[in-house]
Structure 1
Amino acid sequence: MVCFYTGLLLRRCMAASPTVLGYPDIGALAFGAKGRLAVSAFLYAELYLVAIGFLILEGDNLDKLFPGTSLSVGGLVVSGKQLFVVLVAVVILPTTWLRSLAVLAYVSASGVLASVVVVFCVLWVAVVDGVGFHGKGRMLNVSGLPTALGLYTFCYCGHAIFPTLCNSMKEKDKFSKVLVICFVACTLNYGSMAILGYLMYGDDVKSQVTLNLPEGKISSKLAIYTTLINPFSKYALMVTPVATAIEERLLAGNKRSVNVLIRTLIVVSTVVIALTVPFFGHLMALVGSLLSVMASMLLPCICYLKIFGLTRCGRAETLLIATIIVLGSLVAATGTYSSLKKIFYEF
């Protein structure tokens, strides 16, 4: 509900000026050049870390499908998750060199269908393949709340593309209806998976439920393969805005060799971090707490108050926005601390 409301705030900010075409433009409208820089920094950092999460996701699931796989190169043996992270990066690398990602954009739309397929496969494993609903766990784990809130926020952090999405619509006045449909659909999908995972595995559920599924079952393989598809199509979409920003900063322009070099170095850097911090759940919780909270909760409220002022907002709305800012700050502080603590502990 909070993220839905802040999405509406972004729409109002866009309506305040015809020059607003993207999220950074809202930051510029509110706080000038510094606002644009701050908003861009949070958005690009979020995209970069999500791309790293994709590599970790691929490595974990491929290792589940092909356990014990190893490769020896010049006396150096690489095996398991590390091997698959590198191999996936090599396969994905050429897609990041493309200047036009129109085809990938259409392919990434398959994520909607993929999410439904994965939920159905997990349900099939429970009902048909005999896993059942025998998981044991605590209904409320207070100590895990900071991490959970960060993950929840990450699930609803589409605000970075909301302005672009709104501008692409023929009937922009229906944007609020689009948000309602999207948030309801996502909640049903997330809620179904959460309930299934809890009832099937309880506290033993892993950061990716596909890692819990029994080996050898067709439904398990289908769920894992479906999970693997999205990162291949979306990785390039995640890193391209980051690469474009760096290219513009370095005035690379249309220098093909320089562009390829920049994008290759970005991919290499994500591989290094994915191998160094191979904790998918903790990383996504960190992204949700530190960056998604800023992009989806704090920045929309702060920019809205700056653009319209307290007098035009009214007491009730100002109080609501202030409450969201306080809530978002608490989630960001506690979630970031908890996620970093768990990452350091895993090392």
Structure 2
Amino acid sequence: MECPKGEVMESQNQLPQSEQRPKGTTFLKTCFNGINALSGVGILSIPYALSQGGWLSLILLFLVAILCCYTGFLLQRCMAANPIIKTYPDIGEAAFGYKGRAMISIFMYLELYLVAVEFLILEGDNLHKLFPDMGFKVAGLRVGGKNGFVLLTALVILPTTWLKNLGVLAYLSAGGVLSSVILVVCVFWVGAVDGVGFHEGDTLLKSGGLPTTISLFAFCYCGHAVFPTLCNSMKDRSQFSKVLLVCFVTGTINYGAMGILGYLMYGENSMSQVTLNLPLRKISAKIAIYTTLMNPLTKYAIITTPIATAIEAKFPVRNSRFISILIRTAIVISTVTVACTVPFFGYVMAFTGAFLGVTVSILLPCLCYLKMHKTAQSFGSEFIIIVGILVTGSFIGVLGTYTSLKQIVNHLI
């Protein structure tokens, strides 16, 4: 809620000049938040994506990275066009009115929600691999297997969701970035030192698996729903373009390294999460799995914050700490329910990337930019590039969504 202009000026005049500093997160903290949002659990599925598409599908990884980085710049330009814009739905309203806000809100929050669900499925799978015979008692009922670990993870994550300050969350994000780097190093160690070797992955191209491959790649770069929030949180919003470059370059290097290492190690036998392939008897494999288990602890809060903020804004008592905690707790409970009902990590990730990731990260930024910037509608190089991105994104979205939904339905039946 904005303060009256007179009160703002009066409060500023009461402060010494040295203390009148802009509030917000620094460039470095925003980079950590951005990399953390971008380099998420998708890194675990890159070897599996290559096993579905072959070595040449790496080209698609770099193309998706370039497309999504460019559409990230388009979102920043949309925000720069109107200083009132604070969030992604604000961009939709500025471009297409109330219907635009509603459309973007639905796609964006559903995407973030499913990413949060993926975190819990990941935890359940990996903890069950480490402790296959362990179970828990909840209200007199025994809960075992993956579902028990999903519930336990939710209880650990819950307090982190109550944090509302992105500057504080940056410290959690730094841990998330570090865990991604450690994971790549551990996988390399398993292959180079622990005897697994790099002798697999001899397929150049598998056209039949490309829809799944590119859907998983799209999931890896679906951080656009968080970008406007991160940009608005900065002290200097003009530096956000540099933040985007740092995030996408760092994320792509990490993704590419993991994909090459994992596919060389396990080839066509790569599982939906590379950690599920690792031999448990090796210390490096255990470190990799435990590091993976840290991801939800560091990423879940920043992914669900935009959802919680949007819901809180609808309540009359916006500053109530109790209501805030209640809403964020409800979000956690609902994601636990979905994770236990549809526990297919790879297929859910492919669907999220193809349907929601492509829509939120590729299609909607282009449409909003064209609507808000009339000069971009004139026939020129920029217009041609954006139309090309829209056509490509639509093709990827339709084909990938159909393929992933078919896989999910086949496993539910």
Q: TM-score range by the shorter chain?
A: over 0.9
Alignment CA distance shift 1:125-1:315 (3 Å) = same
Measure the CA separation in 1 of the matches of 2:155 and 2:101: 33
Measure the CA separation in 1 of the matches of 2:304 and 2:358: 20
RMSD between aligned alpha carbons? 2.1
- 1:59 CA drift (Å): 0.7
Q: Does 1:140 align with 2:205?
A: yes
Partners of 1:305 and 1:313 within 8 A in 2: no
How many residues in Structure 1 have an aligned counterpart in Structure 2? 347
Measure the CA separation in 2 of the matches of 1:52 and 1:303: 28
Given candidates 56, 65, 83, the residue that maps to 2:148 is: 83
Partners of 1:310 and 1:318 within 8 A in 2: no
Stretches of structure 1 that go unaligned for 5 or more consecutive residues are none
Alignment CA distance shift 1:310-1:329 (3 Å) = farther
Quote the residue 2:299 is aligned against. 234
Alignment CA distance shift 1:42-1:205 (3 Å) = same
SS in 2 for 1:158: coil
Measure the CA separation in 2 of the matches of 1:74 and 1:187: 45
- 1:188 CA drift (Å): 1.3
Q: Does 1:223 align with 2:288?
A: yes
SS in 2 for 1:110: helix
Alignment CA distance shift 1:174-1:101 (3 Å) = closer
With 289-298 and 263-272 compared, the bigger mean Cα shift is at 263-272
Measure the CA separation in 1 of the matches of 2:376 and 2:329: 49
Measure the CA separation in 1 of the matches of 2:389 and 2:125: 35
Quote the residue 2:23 is aligned against. none
Residue 190 of structure 1 aligns with an amino acid whose one-letter code is Y
Residue 62 of structure 1 aligns with an amino acid whose one-letter code is L
- 1:167 CA drift (Å): 4.0
Quote the residue 1:278 is aligned against. 343
Partners of 2:124 and 2:146 within 8 A in 1: yes
Measure the CA separation in 1 of the matches of 2:222 and 2:146: 28
Residue 185 of structure 2 aligns with an amino acid whose one-letter code is F
Identity of aligned residues (%): 59
**TM-score, normalization by structure 1:** 0.92
Partners of 1:137 and 1:198 within 8 A in 2: no
**TM-score, normalization by structure 2:** 0.78
Partners of 1:53 and 1:283 within 8 A in 2: yes
Quote the residue 1:246 is aligned against. 311
SS in 1 for 2:143: strand
Partners of 1:71 and 1:77 within 8 A in 2: yes
- 1:30 CA drift (Å): 0.6
Measure the CA separation in 2 of the matches of 1:265 and 1:169: 29
Q: Does 1:303 align with 2:368?
A: yes
With 118-127 and 238-247 compared, the bigger mean Cα shift is at 238-247
Residue 203 of structure 1 aligns with an amino acid whose one-letter code is E
SS in 1 for 2:373: helix
Partners of 2:344 and 2:408 within 8 A in 1: yes
Stretches of structure 2 that go unaligned for 5 or more consecutive residues are 1-65
- 1:106 CA drift (Å): 1.6
Alignment CA distance shift 1:313-1:106 (3 Å) = farther
Partners of 2:226 and 2:306 within 8 A in 1: no
